[in-house]
Structure 1
């Protein structure tokens, strides 16, 4: 496990809703569970859960509670050898109730039992609760009597002051291609626990099949809680918008052009952490709101972020070189208080900007950008995509552009589909036969049917593209900067949901997008029982939409809307939501919740074989 030491964590008490107790509560629950397992122990994690866990509890704290060895699911031979050498008999697994994780844990337990001469005791800490899958697979392997199963009520990982995530991998593929709804149940359960902590949300709007499904599950869970369920009207959250990732494939398929988004595109950011190579080996750097430079630049268009970093660096250098000997005490104090934290972080971000510049200068990046721009304008860029494939572009990049092509044009022309599929397999390997089949089941890469694409209607109704005539100095700023001219569709849907009763007059375009809509109100029946009913009233307030930037209610605070992305959210979409709230373009602040932070690359890789 990677320790969080040296990587400052966000305070979690400076956002629209204090999340510190959420993190502290989960940390204490986990440590208390570990303490019930006496003695020295090894902790085995899912490979992709080490980074999220480091945001909850540091490795040093786990060691204080008896954890002496760390391992990951997979080949258990190395851990078995260490267990023997250090005479550790307790092996604890922290895992989610997912088929792949449970299957890997069963194999890992069997291997450790076989390779260790001394008897071992196994415990599974199952997130968030023990379901029938785990004991059934253990019984089938003859291991049920050897493993203690303990429910572990971990759910949200606070990534920053206004962003929480379940950090569940492959949710989008499981739901769209595999038809597995387990992740939707897990999300609904996590939202239910959030309501238990902060109170029930009065009104909910949902768009997309998965989003409507989660909204229904959430209402059912609250009704099953009866009088013990959370009360309405006592919530720190005033409204909830659920967004199915399938509704908007265009946004993740395009290249993000905010500073944080571009870092994710080129280097990969995992749980607010980026790994860089240095002379001493790999080093993990935290990127979140505790970083005085990153908090100022992360949501800017990357060129604006670069300009800000360069100007700040010049300011610091000028003060140090020219003003430090002549400055009075008050000026020195101002320098220390305002620039000290930025000065410490500037070298890291200068290095990151230089690495980004090298990536942006590559011919492949410019070619992909040209194809994306042409597709958003409605052009047929299939020949250009094929050229990229024939000239050595990676499989993930080509699939990403094909997803964008299908989202814009409603699919690949039938006459071209079979030839493209054949050439793709010949170029990248026939192991991608399953990749293409999964993408087809998910509706991401498929033949074009006779119906026309709805994207031109959607593009115009939601104002997705910055108009050329409005691109001058007098243009009204908008969220198009996140993709250099394209406003993320999912954020436009959020704006429509906030516009008053219904969906702000874009119902026709909204109906052309995949999946149904739902508008629900949570309340209490005459006998005190929780109720959920259809309600087409405004998400916030009772009498219609509030003017942008005007507080509702008492005016003591701006309303808070929880925006839930089912299947993943991109950094650029989060940046757009932050910008709308900061500029008072919407009558609320946002807390973003998601199953995971994704990019077009990571979304496509969910459908590809490991290492593909």
Structure 2
């Protein structure tokens, strides 16, 4: 989504987080040990490697657990954890136990991302508050990739929509303020959903407080005079609950569905991990086509976490593709790597040999990565060939297309009777409820009773949580808004070309995520090209399976042998802001920039029209947006009273897309597709509370009972 020439760089955020961490570590003299909340260790690993921690006095690292770790003769312990009551109880217990054992230890507690009064009160009640020095480490924005920023709060959806805890929205508002202080005040704010309005209100309050504080301290405007983002689009997850319930069909999405991706890391077992032996290049017969001279490699014996991000060039090419084309891509990559290895035979001069040796390290890394992804693709192939997978996929596609609803209800009951994994059953039931405006009370009561009897009494609370979140509801009236949304936003697309897609619906093989359609409407005033009749699901399931059969045959052999998405408007489009900030009227022209921001050079796509000065917003799409439930937000931020909005740093357009309650990998892939095909060269950066999928979403809402 963000090109190499883009002004925005996540490196600035990473460097700021590293600097803050180093400052906190250096504030404690001498050797120290870190005790880290497991939910923090993943984000921390993306910010600072162990060598950096060691340079600043960290001797050992432990995970926070109910029982105290054997810290040996450590004289200083630094706890780095989320502000939860459970963590505080564990810390208090460990401090008390160490005191009873006669250990004299200096304790420092760093809350991530901010301290909590309730947690401090619990420590006081336990009688250990005086023993602990308390601070905070503001690791609020974690750069997962150059175009993906996350708060990494995995409980965000449940906290907001079930428990009514909006502290995560407050953290998101702080993160947005931090971005604006670093990259400039964002001229246009567009949003959809009640929580989007709540986030905006918090953002405006924080801005007033920050401006008042700066004026009191006689400091200049805390925001830069330029801005690198031309707009921010805030999406409430409740606006689109359908998308997370569908099975993701991109390569990255299926890895997330099968293995799970947490903070860009996926855990693979020994059957997937390639051997560690690198290909030999010491003789003329060496290379990827020959391994006879190399010693037999020892296969890994235990699971290992592997980073999956843009630093892996092979993964970067595969991740956003529909899985049906992974076979061809792997074959092409294998042939290219094999050809690069074969160039060693052409090296005759010292210069040519030196050049080959110079790129040998990169080739070996790519070769190892290719072997990993071939193994991963083989595992995904087995998964997608399963009969039950194809039946579920067929049911999902039929539901979103409003086909054969009665048959799908029978299939859900069949899953319950067969004791299929609870997440599969609940996802399909919730999807049925969402696309039909609820489930008839008679059917819902029957299915709920079956679920409780099959999966356990504790899931009475799970079903209650689903109802609170709006995922599973009773059909109270015959009014159902989904069919009109499906038609107006063109959610179902026929004849999807996964090889050369021309619409965002390729990520679900025919279904376009509502959330990304809204982004498309706001930025391009279109919902893609006109479509043919509804795409059926049977073809989708069989296509995934049949294309997956040969995912690795050609690639493995080579390695071992070595409709437009943009608007068709031809006229200039300018939207005048409808509202103002702090009572200041928006300037006439309303382009969001003193210099006509957003009017930069257009990068026309062959066969499409050029869009000039397209302003991000809902203007001109009022009827379409009204079909989607939830409040609508469109505001213009003024730098100072009487002045035009902050000017863009360049003519480049970057939209910050904020997801409240999490987003899926496929939604990120769809945004990258929009960026690649935008005629005006618009780029997108994602800021989300966390990256989720349907299984993790249901798991978070499920009640756990300790049966030991």
Shorter-normalised TM-score: what interval? 0.7 to 0.9
- Tell me, yes or no, if the aligned pair for 2:664 and 2:693 is still in contact at 8 Å: yes
Given that residues 113 and 137 in structure 2 are in contact (C-alpha distance below 8 angstroms), is that contact kept between their aligned partners in structure 1?
Answer: yes
Residue 61 of structure 1, CA deviation: 2.0
Specify which of 288, 308, 311 is matched with residue 309 of structure 2: 288
Q: Is the 8 A contact 2:151 2:690 kept in 1?
A: yes
User: Which residue number in structure 2 is paired with residue 370 of structure 1?
Assistant: 394
Moved more, 37-46 or 93-102: 93-102
Matches of 1:299 and 1:568, distance apart in 2: 18
| Residue 248 of structure 1, aligned match among 199, 218, 240 | 240
CA distance in 2, matches of 1:472, 1:168: 35
Matched residue of 1:430: which SS? coil
SS in 2 for 1:420: helix
Distance 1:474 1:368 in 2: 24
Write the distance in 1 (CA, Å) between the matches of 2:98 and 2:63: 13
1:232 and 1:210, CA in 2 relative to 1: closer, same or farther beyond 3 A? farther
The residue number in structure 1 matching 2:25 is: 34
Tell me if structure 2 keeps the 8 A contact 1:272–1:288. Answer: yes
1:395 aligns with 2:395: no
Alignment CA distance shift 1:567-1:119 (3 Å): same
What is the match of residue 353 of structure 1?
377
1:410-425 matches, cutoff 5 A? 410-425=437-452
Larger gyration radius, structure 1 or structure 2: 2
Distance 1:101 1:300, change over 3 A: same
Larger mean CA deviation between 28-37 and 560-569 belongs to: 28-37
Distance 1:47 1:581 in 2: 35
Instruction: Report the Cα distance in structure 2 between the residues aligned to 1:376 and 1:30, rounded to whole angstroms.
Output: 46
Contact 1:232 1:522 in 2 (8 A): no
Q: Tell me what 1:581 maps to.
A: 675
Which residue matches 1:8? none
Say whether the 8 Å CA contact 1:222–1:230 is kept in structure 2. no
Query: Quick check: 1:461–1:506 contact (8 Å CA) kept in 2?
Result: no
Q: Deviations over 1:74-113 (max 9, x none)?
A: 3223x0xx12xx2113221112334554455444544554
Answer whether contact 1:15 1:161 (CA < 8 A) is retained. Answer: no
Farther off after superposition, 517-526 or 174-183: 517-526
Q: Any idea what the Cα deviations from partners look like across 1:437-464, whole Å, max 9, x if unmatched?
A: 1111111112111142211111111111
Cα gap change, 1:594 to 1:110, in 2 (>3 Å): farther
Are positions 1:72 and 2:63 aligned together? Answer: yes
Shift of 1:40: 2.7
Gap regions ≥5 residues in structure 2: 215-220, 271-299, 526-573, 576-616
Shift of 1:157: 0.8
Query: What is residue 111 of structure 2 aligned with on the other side?
Result: 126
d(CA) in 2 for partners of 1:54 and 1:474? 35
Aligned residues of 1:202 and 1:233 also touching (Cα < 8 A): no
After the TM superposition, which residues 311-326 of structure 1 pair with which residues of structure 2 at under 5 Å, given as runs? 311-317=332-338, 320=341, 324-325=344-345
Distance 2:356 2:623 in 1: 55
Check if 1:235 corresponds to 2:235: no
For 2:515, the equivalent position in structure 1 comes to 490
Q: CA deviation at 1:360?
A: 1.1
**For the residues of structure 2 that align with 1:504 and 1:167, how far apart are their CA atoms?**
33
Assess if the C-alpha contact under 8 Å between 1:275 and 1:283 holds in 2: yes
Partner of 1:195: 180
Q: Greater shift after overlay, 593-602 or 146-155?
A: 146-155
Deviations 1:199-241 (A, max 9, x none): 1111101111212111110111011111635437511111100
Matches within 5 A, 1:56-455: 56-77=47-68, 79=69, 82-83=70-71, 86-114=72-100, 116-226=101-211, 228=214, 230-231=222-223, 234-278=226-270, 279-317=300-338, 320=341, 324-325=344-345, 336=359, 342-379=366-403, 380=405, 381-455=408-482
Residue 72 to residue 476, structure 1, CA distance change in 2 (3 Å): closer
The separation in 2 between residues aligned to 1:74 and 1:14, in whole angstroms, is: 44
Q: Is residue 581–residue 590 contact of structure 1 (8 Å, CA) maintained in 2?
A: yes
User: CA RMSD, aligned part only?
Assistant: 2.9
Which of residues 635, 650, 658 in structure 2 aligns to 1:564?
A: 658
Change (3 A) 1:111 1:262: farther
Q: Secondary structure at the match of 2:9?
A: coil
Q: CA–CA distance in 1 between the matches of 2:104 and 2:66?
A: 19
SS at structure 2 position matched to 1:561: strand
Show CA shifts across 1:411-455 (max 9, x none): 111111111111101111112121111111111112111142211
TM-score (norm 1): 0.87
- Report if aligned partners of 2:253, 2:666 keep a CA contact under 8 Å in 1: yes
In the alignment, the residues of structure 2 paired with residue 386 and residue 490 of structure 1 have an alpha-carbon distance, to the nearest angstrom, of 30
More displaced stretch, 577-586 vs 101-110: 101-110
User: For the Cα contact (< 8 Å) 1:158–1:164, is it kept in 2?
Assistant: yes
Task: Indicate the larger mover: 101-110 or 378-387.
Answer: 101-110
Cα distance, 1:126 vs structure 2: 1.4
Q: Is the Cα–Cα contact under 8 Å of residues 22 and 56 in structure 2 kept in the other structure?
A: yes
Q: Distance in 2 between matches of 1:70 and 1:383?
A: 52
Residues 481-507 of structure 1 deviation map (CA, whole Å, 9 limit, x = unaligned)? 101111111011111222364525443
After the TM superposition, which residues 510-589 of structure 1 pair with which residues of structure 2 at under 5 Å, given as runs? 510-526=625-641, 557-584=651-678, 588-589=682-683
Which segment is superposed worse, 561-570 or 16-25?
A: 16-25
Q: What is the alpha-carbon distance in structure 2 between the residues aligned to residue 257 and residue 344 of structure 1?
A: 25
- Kept in 2, the 8 Å contact 1:205–1:520? The answer is yes
SS at match of 2:227: coil
Which moves more between the two structures, 567-576 or 304-313?
304-313
Moved more, 568-577 or 297-306: 297-306
Distance change (3 Å), C-alpha of 1:331 and 1:226: same
- In structure 1, how many angstroms separate the alpha carbons of the residues matched to 2:36 and 2:157? 22
| Contact 1:171/1:183 (<8 A) preserved | yes
Instruction: Give the drift of 1:133.
Output: 2.0
What CA deviation, in whole Å up to 9, does each residue of 1:512-552 have, x standing for no partner? 43421111121144499xx99xxxxxxx99xxxxxxxxxxx
Question: Against the structure 1 CA distance between its residues 388 and 504, is the aligned structure 2 distance closer, same or farther, given a 3 Å change threshold?
Answer: farther
CA distance in 1, matches of 2:641, 2:339: 69
Q: How far apart, CA to CA, are the structure 2 residues paired with 1:286 and 1:611? A: 32
Please give the secondary structure, in 2, of the residue aligned with 1:365.
Answer: helix
Question: Which stretch of the first structure deviates more once superposed, 586-595 or 14-23?
Answer: 14-23
* Preserved contact between residue 16 and residue 591 of structure 1 (Cα < 8 Å): no
Asked if structure 1 preserves the Cα contact closer than 8 Å seen for 2:188 and 2:636, the reply is yes
CA contact (8 A) 1:249 1:403 kept: no
Per the TM alignment, residue 357 of structure 1 is displaced from its structure 2 partner at its CA by 0.7
Tell me, in whole angstroms, the C-alpha distance in 1 between the residues paired with 2:138 and 2:231.
24
Summarize the Cα distance change of 1:54–1:474 in structure 2 as closer, same or farther, 3 Å threshold: closer
Distance 1:186 1:194 in 2: 12
